[in-house]
Copies of this chain bind each other. A is one copy, B any other.
Amino acid sequence: MDRTGSNGSRKPTLEDVARAAGVSRSLVSIIVRGAPGASEASRTRVMAIARDLGYLPDVRARLLAGTSPKLIGVTYKTNSLHHADLLSSIYETAEGAGYEVILSGRTRRHDDRHAVNALLGYRCDALLIISPEVPEAELQQLSASLPILSLGRRMVHATTNVDVVRTDEAAGIRMAIDHLVALGHRRVAHVDGGGGVIGTDRRRAYRDCMTRHGLRDQVSIVTGGDNADAGRRAARRLLDGPEPPTAIIAYNDECAWGVMRALEDAGLSVPRDVSVVGYDGSPVARMAPHELTTVHQDTDGLGRLSVERLIARLEHGLPIGDVVLVPTFVPGETTGPAPAGA
């Protein structure tokens, strides 16, 4: 047996199937792709032969030869559970519509730009960029060559040609604050997500909503990030302050984790001493010793809509623009009444 290199048995091609079935290549092509123009009889016969031969269409050739859009490129952060969650519905919707999706993960050494370039190399018909970290100007520039959809991140400039499907961040933050205020909290702090657009939106929403509740002088913001370490460091700074908060809204679930860890370090109990709210509603929210109270994004809806709209745009030129979904607030075990003394 060949134990080292690849072996010789060439993969069967369309031609092989055609020959074995005694028909033309075109007919086989029509049949395997389910296109109209073949009798039921030939269809079942040829399909059977194709299966016997172990025929599998060559995606590269199909993509190269095809004229109609069929390939959607997706970039995402491999270490984000929220992003991973989105892939499920993206795959499902795309495959259901007969589209190929090709993934390009962003990792430590493979950044946003690398990922986008890899996708461009495959001549994708459209790009689905999950929470891009690329400057908006570059997205704008890219959108001159192909449809670009930013999933999760809003575009700042109104003239943009980049489409967006996202969550109403202000609504999410508002739900969180309303919930906390109803529980009697006043010193509600925010561990933010840094300078990105999403982080900025959530931070602004926090500030606005606090103000609306007459808690303007209680506004307390500290720079965090999208991971536990950042959340931990940020919370520590918060606790070192003169008037520690009785509730903390974190940028996302991972960040909330770090916050909880800092509280633990300080000997504080959640939610007795301090309440914590996350954001995303990713599986990680259910990993805490206590179920995390969180703002749950409609991940299925976000993924599905992104792909549906992108396809509608590709095939019928339908505009997308800025699609906004409303999140759901999910009370967990990490929020409770404000401590009496506060």
Q: How far is the CA of A100 from the CA of B121 in the complex (A)?
A: 11
B5 engages A122 (CB within 8 Å): no
- Report whether B91 and A5 are in contact in the complex, using a CB–CB cutoff of 8 Å: no
- Which residues of chain B come closer than 8 Å to A317, judged between CB atoms? 4-5
Contact check, B287 vs A69: say whether CB atoms are below 8 A apart. Answer: no
B110 and A91: CB pair below 8 A?
A: yes
Whether A60 contacts B123 by the Cβ 8 Å rule is yes
Contact, CB under 8 Å: B227 / A283: yes
Interface residues of A in 113-169 (CB under 8 A from B): 117-118, 120-123, 125-126, 144-147, 161
Contact digits for A67-91, partner B, Cβ 8 Å, 1 yes 0 no: 0010000000011010011011001
Whether the pair B286, A287 counts as a contact (CB closer than 8 A) is: no
Beyond A58-B123, A88-B107, 16 additional contacts (C-beta under 8 Å) are A3-B319, A4-B317, A4-B318, A4-B319, A5-B313, A59-B123, A78-B84, A84-B107, A88-B109, A91-B107, A103-B103, A103-B105, A227-B283, A254-B287, A258-B287, A264-B290
Output the nearest chain B residue to A84 by Cβ-Cβ distance: B78
Stretch from A6-14, A187-195, A217-225 forming part of the interface with B = A6-14
Residues from chain B with Cβ under 8 Å of A286 in the complex: 228-229
Contacts of A122 in B (CB 8 A): 59-60
Evaluate contact between B287 and A261: CB separation under 8 angstroms: yes
* B residues near A228, Cβ cutoff 8 Å: 283, 286-287
Q: How distant is the Cα of A117 from the Cα of B85 in the complex, in angstroms?
A: 21
Given that A60-B64, A107-B91 are contacting pairs, would A69 and B229 also be in contact in the complex, using a CB cutoff of 8 Å? Answer: no
Question: What residues of B have a CB within 8 angstroms of the CB of A290 in the complex?
Answer: 261, 264
Q: Which of A233-273 contact B (CB under 8 A)?
A: 254, 257-258, 260-261, 263-264
> How many monomers of this protein are in the complex?
2
Mostly, the A contact residues are: mixed
Q: Which residues of B contact A78 (CB under 8 A)?
A: 78, 84, 87-88
Chain A residues with a Cβ under 8 A of chain B: 1-7, 9, 11, 56-61, 63-64, 69, 78-79, 81, 84-85, 87-88, 91-92, 95, 100, 102-105, 107-110, 117-118, 120-123, 125-126, 144-147, 161, 227-229, 254, 257-258, 260-261, 263-264, 283-284, 286-290, 313-314, 317-319
> Which of B60, B88, B260 makes the CB contact (< 8 A) with A108?
B88
Chain B, residue nearest A92 (CB): B109
The answer on a CB contact under 8 Å between A121 and B61 is: no
With CB as the reference atom, state the residue of chain B lying closest to A80: B84
Task: Compute how far the CA of A6 lies from the CA of B64 in the bound complex, rounded to whole angstroms.
Answer: 17
A261 & B283 in contact (Cβ 8 Å cutoff): no
Knowing A11-B123, A78-B84, A79-B81, say if A3 contacts B61 (CB, 8 Å). Answer: no
Q: How far apart are the CA atoms of A51 and B234 in the complex, in Å?
A: 43
Contacts of A87 in B (CB 8 A): 78, 105, 107, 110
Q: List 9 A-B contacts (CB under 8 A).
A: A4-B313, A6-B314, A11-B145, A58-B123, A60-B122, A60-B123, A92-B110, A228-B286, A261-B287
* Contact residue among B102, B123, B227, B260 (Cβ-Cβ distance under 8 Å from A102): B102
Q: Chain B residues with Cβ under 8 A from A314's Cβ?
A: 5-6
Query: In whole Å, how far is A253's beta carbon from the nearest beta carbon of chain B?
Result: 9
Complex contacts, A5 vs chain B, CB 8 Å: 147, 313-314, 317
